[in-house]
Amino acid sequence: MSNEKKFDVVIYGATGFTGRLVAEYMVRQYGHNQEVTWAMAGRNIEKLALVREEIGAHEDTSLLAVDSENKNSLDNMASHSKCVLTTVGPYQLYGSDLVTSCAEAGTDYVDLTGEPGWMYEMIEQNEESAKKSGARIVFSCGFDSIPFDLGVLFVQNAAKEKYGMPAPHVRGRVRAMHGEFSGGTVASLSATMSTLREKPELINVLANPFSLSGGFKGPDQLDDSKALFDEKLEMWITPFIMASINTKNIHRSNALMGHAYGEDFCYDEMSIAGSGDEGKARAESMATLNPLVGDDMPAPGEGPSQESRENGNFNVLFCADMPNGETLNATVTGDMDPGYGSTSKMIAESAVCLVKDCLDLEGGIYTPAPSMGKKLITRLVNNAGLTFSLD
């Protein structure tokens, strides 16, 4: 990667709701200094200038005019950036050319995608180019899938330390999630449905938990599509809307790390509904609901108030089941709502981590765990309000 690139991080989409939150975080955490040089990018310079003023960024913070439909402008942004942080989604509609630009220019890239069909295509089209140029492309650097991908890494590292081996089975259990889904998440689901009508072959990609694992075919996984009783927790559990993308990313992480969790590794991810008959009823009811459908869903560019973001949080349990019958538990928490407050901090720290802490990482298309791993966990704990702990 060229040391002559002007900016460590360029926030593309800084006038959007989530992009603006990322920029606000950069102002608070890194200000206007030489530790991290950053800029803001979007289609409209005037709007960027207004956001820069409103969030209290230094007047010298650079602004770049970039349009997702103008490949030259994307190439120009990549040529000046060590890392492009993009919140411009749905990525299957607006992100493909940017991934190509970064892969060709040797520029790092982080996003918030939870779109496995698009990720599959981007890996197929750009992985060799990224490896050749040295670009580190890291998908899913928000609530999907950082707490889950790094949570599994954290509990597996603890299992290796305690037992001398990884757990062949990890259960992800969402204890609490207070906050709203982003308008971008809702738009991504709609775009995915449209894409499947045009490319029905991607249905198999969405259905296969190993579809992002480079051709590896692992063991059968738990059917997480219906309410179940978790006997070890003695709790009823119910499908979790983000499990489809998180499980694919976690299995890709395992593959990229040389199957550090084992080739027989199983992972399932569900929400805890409660115990007894009441928990069963709640689990069965929740299993029939789609939280991304409804009249009150936010549109892209919309989101909750600052008060709502600050009152949100999440808590996820990871249970590493060992062959001897013992279970090692770990918890990952966030101090703001997952879809906006925590996500904006997670992706910002991911970009800075890649540029500042991962200088020896080779080019390629990654998930968070194999690319940044413990280094990112440290940053998230120190700066972004996340906790990683053994129960």
The predicted pLDDT at position 2 comes to 42
Amino acid at the residue 14: A
The predicted pLDDT at position 192 comes to 76
Q: Packing angle between helix 116-133 and helix 183-198, nearest 10 degrees?
A: 90
Asked whether the predicted pLDDT for residue 6 surpasses 60, the reply is yes
The predicted pLDDT at position 181 comes to 64
pLDDT tens figures, 200-223: 888 888 899 999 999 999 999 999
Task: Identify the helix (H) or strand (E) that includes residue 114.
Answer: none
pLDDT tens figures, 256-278: 999 999 999 999 999 999 999 99
The predicted pLDDT at position 96 comes to 97
Query: Could you give the C-alpha distances from 160 to 150, 166, 260, 301, 329, in angstroms and in order?
Result: 15, 5, 10, 43, 13
The predicted pLDDT at position 1 comes to 42
Q: Which two tokens stand for residue 93?
A: 């509609």
- Please check whether residue 263 is in contact with residue 276, taking contact to mean a CB–CB distance below 8 angstroms: no
Asked whether the predicted pLDDT for residue 296 surpasses 70, the reply is no
The predicted pLDDT at position 190 comes to 72
pLDDT tens figures, 230-266: 999 999 999 999 999 999 999 999 999 999 999 999 9
Task: Identify the helix (H) or strand (E) that includes residue 319.
Answer: strand 313-321
Task: Cis check for the bond before 291: say yes or no (omega within 30 of 0).
Answer: no
- Please check whether residue 10 is in contact with residue 80, taking contact to mean a CB–CB distance below 8 angstroms: yes
Task: Identify the helix (H) or strand (E) that includes residue 300.
Answer: none
pLDDT band for position 196 (cuts 50, 70, 90): confident
Q: Which two tokens stand for residue 181?
A: 């889904």
Asked whether the predicted pLDDT for residue 293 surpasses 70, the reply is no
The predicted pLDDT at position 182 comes to 64
The predicted pLDDT at position 374 comes to 98
Q: What angle do CA 265, 266, 269 make, to 5 degrees?
A: 140
Report the CATH fold assignment for 7-142+342-385.
Rossmann fold (3.40.50)
Query: Could you give the C-alpha distances from 209 to 94, 128, 204, 285, in angstroms and in order?
Result: 25, 23, 10, 25
What average pLDDT does the segment 302-310 reach? Answer: 85
Asked whether the predicted pLDDT for residue 345 surpasses 90, the reply is yes
pLDDT tens figures, 168-190: 999 999 999 998 766 666 677 67
What's this model's pTM, rounded to 2 decimal places? 0.95
Mean pLDDT check: name the lowest of 65-69, 302-306, 308-312.
302-306
pLDDT band for position 132 (cuts 50, 70, 90): very high
Return d(Cα 252, Cα 256) in angstroms, integer: 6
Give 73's contacts (C-beta < 8 A, 6+ positions apart): 65, 66, 67
- Please check whether residue 324 is in contact with residue 96, taking contact to mean a CB–CB distance below 8 angstroms: no
- Please check whether residue 324 is in contact with residue 83, taking contact to mean a CB–CB distance below 8 angstroms: no
**Closest C-alpha among 50, 38, 48, 40 to residue 5:** 38
318: Cα within 13 Å, side-chain hemisphere: 28
pLDDT tens figures, 25-55: 999 999 887 789 999 999 999 999 999 999 9
pLDDT band for position 300 (cuts 50, 70, 90): low
- Please check whether residue 247 is in contact with residue 220, taking contact to mean a CB–CB distance below 8 angstroms: no
